[in-house]
Amino acid sequence: MTPIVHLLLLPLLVSAATGEGLQDKEGSFENTTLDVAEAPPVPYPIHEATGEGLQDKKGPFENTALDVAEATPVPYPIHKFEVTDPGVDGFRLTGEGSEDVKISSEGWLFLQHPLDWARNDHYIIGVEALKGNSVVDGPIYVTINVLDINNHAPAFNSSSYTGVVLEHSPAGVPFTRVFASDLDDPASPNARLKYSLVSQIPNKHHIALFQINADTGEISTTAEGAQMLKAREGIRYSRGEDQSIEALKTKFDNFCSPVQSIPYEQNPFFTCVERAELRRRSIDRMEDPDYTLIVRVQDLGGESSNSLSGSTYVNVIVKQNLWVSPGPIIIKEHLKEVYPHVITQVQSNDPNAIYRLVQKERVLNFPFRISVDGEIELTEELDREDKDMYILVVFAEDQYGNQLDPPMEIQVVVQDVNDNAPECEAETVFEVQEDEPVGSLIGAFLAHDADDTATLNAQLTYSIVSQTPSASANAFSIDSMLGEIRSLQVLRRRDSKIYHLDVQVSDPVFSVQCKVVIKVIDVNNQLPLFETNDYGSHSLAEDTPVGHTLLTIKATDADEADSGSSKIEFHISEGNEDGIFAVQTEENGVGELVIVKPLDFETSSSYNLKIDARNVEPLMKGLEYGKESSASVQLEVTDVDEAPEFSLDILDVTVPEDIAKGTVVLKVEANDPEGKDISFKLDGDSQDWLEIDDASGEIKTKNTLDRETLETFSVTVTAFEKNNPEKLSERELSFTLLDINDNHPKLTETYSFICYNKPAPVLIKAEDADAPPFSEPFTFAFNHGKKSPNWDLQTVDGSTAKLTLKKSPGADKTFTLAINIKDNAGLGVNQALEVQVCNCTELGYCYVEPGKHSFMLGMGATIGILVGIVGFCIILFVIVIRRSGKKKQKTKKAEEQNAML
């Protein structure tokens, strides 16, 4: 607010402050002067400011809400009410805040004292317009919303905080936190706080070891801190050792006494160790922190140059952490040691911890154990080829099994040592034709090594050590890495038919010698020759079984025996498109022609097969296979009397259940492959519903079918040769009957009762034997849809309706109601429902003469009626007694008989 307003308002403010109208100018003059003196200096003449800025502060005399910033300098005009009644000569304020807010007789609402958001963020003030002492308008209500300004600095709830961090604890995991609060409006930036680390003391290497979460105030280590933080040297105690200061002195004595004789109290090293010890035992002793952090908090999100701030200290102690994984341990397999052999040691932060070692995977063999002192021992030699890594999990627990330190994993990697020699077959045989050019590949020789193939331990090298005969030196070469053997000269059988090589296979440590035999075989210059090129004609019955051998074929080859040049393979190259035949070979040059698929005279009655004889080794250059390496066979298939065959594979038949008696349902067709006369028969018709015409195969119904009796059934149709009934074929036919709406809904119970002293609706239920859509939902109605004056019938669901008695007959009466129940397709008839209305027995049933209804009722109803009868007996007994009281001993004997009912 500009000073102009103050100036304009001055007379008003003066009058308000004195509690008098402006009319009383004289009496208020002194105080006016005083207020002017307290008000800020007025730099502008009045006329310059006339009306400006004030116009929008005026408004009619009605409820209104106004915003006022807290701590606004006073006096401060808030709002002017303009009343219509010219006679109004004053206003009155009521409600909270009226000591801080005042109103002038002209209607100017103004601030008397600065407001404080933290004290109250809004006021509701009533305003009344007065004429003399009487209220002529109002009260109206003014809500004054106090706007927060950033006039509170954030403050920590403690002047110092402590934190204990373990050595080697992971970066970013908070170990302590600070808290600050700000009294300004939490919904405004005035209370939005940001934390930051100002400094870390000491900071020798200018590396930030700690970090703070700007929003939460959580303090954690940085990645550098996680690595570099080290607890001060402490004293290590062993299991069960006394940890008192006295014990510390003894330890110190033992360590130092030969060197120095200064009393403990004057020894700075002892003092330091003592402090560290005290601190280790009780983390509250913070006099001597390892680090002190200065933490600042700023409001306005720390982003404004006007942010207010507060600071605090955080004292950090670094605690020793002995519980550190020794990391992956690498152990050579087959290590020659005295077992158990200590491979590493772990140490809990609690010297009295009890250690437990388990393996992570479930493997039977676990050759590790842990001693009471945390020494991990290997109990036997390891074998990498058996298992190449173990994961151990160590627990440190107290005597009750509570964990003192979190479980820790230790990997044990078994390092391969070259403990496996290469291995090869006893003898490897290769064949090569003579006269092949120099450099021809003879074969690739490969040995095996069980060591880790990713290491050099399994990297094999090959070399030829010796060759027999050695006459022609170095006839072969071997690739040292790949093991490929090639010829270094043209090999001739007259030089040597066979070569024996000793090949040395080596890994970096081991070597073995392997035997390789190379046979120089005859060049394949001879063709395989069939003993005959025409095996003639053969006759075969069409029912000859699969696997039958038709004939044995033979071919010879003049090349060197037992070599790829003389080895013969047979191939059927023509006439076997259906794959019915194959040649099987057991002895070189001898083949058996066999049937591998069934024959069928009607499909194919003759075959002309061409069979080729071929060598495994390629033929010599320039030579080709000719007629002499092929043979032909003719096969005639003879017909056999076969059973009739069905021409159609009908398996499922669906017919409507109402199909007329005598209707042809289906005609089965069958033929005899030889064209003989056939006949049909039908079996398995349990309901005797069908018959078959033995000549035509027509299947007819001979009775009416009923789906509700049997919905699906199967029959077997047989076609057989008339003159030889044993030649037969069978087909199973499955019938499914389609539902026809041939059943109407029926009441499940045709009797019910209603107690007229306690009339409850009766539920009636119906059932329909048909399947949907010829069954539910049903519609229930009285005979031909008429309304009944006594009864009301309402459908409950698809199968149930509710019958309500509208008017009591006043005495026992049995009604027979005609109820029309239609199924979903509209099929329905009237059905009689007998409803007995009675003065019920105490158990809530009507008395029913035994046997009267039970013939038509279900079990439930029968039981109900039995209960009713029992109930009736009791009631009868009661009635009898009452009557006897009224009628005085009249027919005592008869009543006694009744009572026995």
Ligand X SMILES: *[C@@H]1O[C@H](CO)[C@@H](O)[C@H](O)[C@H]1NC(C)=O
Out of 94, 158, 250, 573, the residue judged to bind ligand X by CB under 6 A: 158
Cα 452 to the chain's mean position, in Å? 38
- Going through 419-548 in order, the beta strands assigned E by DSSP cover 428-433, 441-444, 461-468, 476-478, 484-487, 498-506, 511-521, 529-530, 534-541
Nearer to ligand X, 175 or 625 (CB): 175
State the minimum distance, in angstroms, from the CB of residue 757 to ligand X.
6
Q: Give 686's contacts (C-beta < 8 A, 6+ positions apart).
A: 710, 713
* CA distances from residue 520 to 85, 429, 497, 617 in whole angstroms, order as listed: 137, 11, 5, 13
Residues 474-513 close enough to bind ligand X by CB under 6 A: none
DSSP single-letter state for residue 774: S
State the minimum distance, in angstroms, from the CB of residue 808 to ligand X.
9
- Round the CA-based radius of gyration of the chain to a whole number and report it: 58
Out of 157, 199, 603, 814, the residue judged to bind ligand X by CB under 6 A: 157
* Residue 714 binds ligand X, judged by CB under 6 A: no
State the minimum distance, in angstroms, from the CB of residue 30 to ligand X.
6
Nearer to ligand X, 152 or 567 (CB): 152
* CA distances from residue 54 to 2, 21, 62, 79, 82 in whole angstroms, order as listed: 11, 21, 18, 9, 13
Nearer to ligand X, 45 or 186 (CB): 186
* Residue 216 binds ligand X, judged by CB under 6 A: no
Stretch that binds ligand X, among 25-33, 326-334, 523-531, 723-731 (CB under 6 A): 25-33
Binding residues for ligand X, rule CB under 6 A, total: 10
State the minimum distance, in angstroms, from the CB of residue 181 to ligand X.
8
State the minimum distance, in angstroms, from the CB of residue 38 to ligand X.
10
The two tokens of residue 661 are 């008696």
* Residue 160 binds ligand X, judged by CB under 6 A: no
The two tokens of residue 173 are 């995991």
Out of 839, 854, 884, 898, the residue judged to bind ligand X by CB under 6 A: 839
d(CA 374, CA 354): 8
Stretch that binds ligand X, among 22-30, 194-202, 765-773, 860-868 (CB under 6 A): 22-30
Nearer to ligand X, 631 or 848 (CB): 848
State the minimum distance, in angstroms, from the CB of residue 172 to ligand X.
21
Nearer to ligand X, 26 or 586 (CB): 26
Nearer to ligand X, 157 or 468 (CB): 157
Nearer to ligand X, 169 or 808 (CB): 808
Element of type H or E holding 223: helix 223-228
For residue 505, which of 524, 478, 487, 486 has the smallest C-alpha distance? 478
Nearer to ligand X, 22 or 818 (CB): 22
* Residue 31 binds ligand X, judged by CB under 6 A: yes
- Going through 398-495 in order, the beta strands assigned E by DSSP cover 403-415, 428-433, 441-444, 461-468, 476-478, 484-487
State the minimum distance, in angstroms, from the CB of residue 117 to ligand X.
22
State the minimum distance, in angstroms, from the CB of residue 279 to ligand X.
20
* Residue 179 binds ligand X, judged by CB under 6 A: yes
Out of 26, 30, 586, 624, the residue judged to bind ligand X by CB under 6 A: 30
For residue 151, which of 72, 266, 221 has the smallest C-alpha distance? 72
* Residue 264 binds ligand X, judged by CB under 6 A: no
Nearer to ligand X, 533 or 839 (CB): 839
Task: Report the residue count for the chain.
Answer: 901
Q: Give 782's contacts (C-beta < 8 A, 6+ positions apart).
A: 788, 791, 793, 817, 818, 819, 820
Q: Give 440's contacts (C-beta < 8 A, 6+ positions apart).
A: 432, 486, 487
Out of 3, 18, 39, 269, the residue judged to bind ligand X by CB under 6 A: 18
Stretch that binds ligand X, among 24-32, 63-71, 345-353, 698-706 (CB under 6 A): 24-32
Helix, strand, coil shares of the chain, percent, nearest 5, are: 15, 40, 50
Out of 27, 43, 798, 850, the residue judged to bind ligand X by CB under 6 A: 27
Q: Give the max Cα distance, the chain.
A: 158
Nearer to ligand X, 666 or 879 (CB): 879
Q: Which residues contact ligand X (rule: CB under 6 A)?
A: 18, 27-28, 30-31, 157-158, 179, 757, 839
